[in-house]
Amino acid sequence: MPGVQYQVKIITDFAAAHNLRNFRGKCENLHGHNWKVEVVLRGDRLDESGVLMDFGELKEATREILTALDHQYLNDLAYFKERNPSSEYIAQYLFERLSERLNRDYCRIFQVSAWESANSCATYFGENLG
């Protein structure tokens, strides 16, 4: 998308517990967060309705994907068996699944941020930084 002109963002949340394996710090202990998630979609044109993507569609897809994480012990989920359920990997997990569902020829998921507190987040950009 050479001429990116539009961007939309939604913010939602979920609650989950996790611990970071081989971390050597307090986050190695079982604990939980009320995560905030930001999803940013970018594109170079609008659809026939004059929108990049219906906010409802973006929110629904995000909520459906978050259902697998909400009120779960993240370490038990298949995706996190071989990788720590860090904010970075949670953002990547969401980015990959949202991209599979929502990317179009004129718009793509640009970034996903996973906030574990009001002051700390990790953002995944996928191939968008290349």
Q: Of the residues 18, 27, 38, 127, which is catalytic?
A: 27
pTM (2 d.p.): 0.93
Q: Of the residues 31, 71, 96, 127, which is catalytic?
A: 71
Q: Is residue 15 part of a domain?
A: yes
Q: Is residue 36 part of a domain?
A: yes
Active site residue 57: no
Q: Is residue 1 part of a domain?
A: no
Confidence of residue 25 (pLDDT cuts 50, 70, 90): confident
> C-alpha distances in angstroms, 117 versus 7, 34, 35, 37, 127?
25, 7, 7, 11, 26
**Is 41:7 a contact under the CB 8 Å cutoff?**
yes
Domain count, the chain: 1
Q: Is residue 57 part of a domain?
A: yes
**How confident is the model over 66-99, as pLDDT tens digits?**
999 999 999 999 999 999 999 999 999 999 999 9
* Per-residue pLDDT, 27: 85
Q: Is residue 71 part of a domain?
A: yes
Q: Does the structure show a pLDDT above 60 at 47?
A: yes
Q: Does the structure show a pLDDT above 90 at 29?
A: no
* Per-residue pLDDT, 99: 98
User: The domain spanning residue 63 has which CATH number?
Assistant: 3.30.479.10
Q: Of the residues 18, 33, 38, 116, which is catalytic?
A: 116
Active site residue 18: no
- Distance, in Å, from the CA atom of 64 to the CA atom of 56, rounded to the nearest integer, reads 12
Q: Is residue 48 part of a domain?
A: no
Q: Is residue 46 part of a domain?
A: no
Q: What percent of the chain has pLDDT over 90?
A: 86
Q: Is residue 47 part of a domain?
A: no
* Per-residue pLDDT, 130: 45
Active site residue 38: no
How buried is residue 14: exposed, middle or buried, by Cβ count under 10 Å (0-12/13-18/19+)?
buried
**Is 52:41 a contact under the CB 8 Å cutoff?**
yes
Residue range of the domain that includes 22: 6-41+53-129
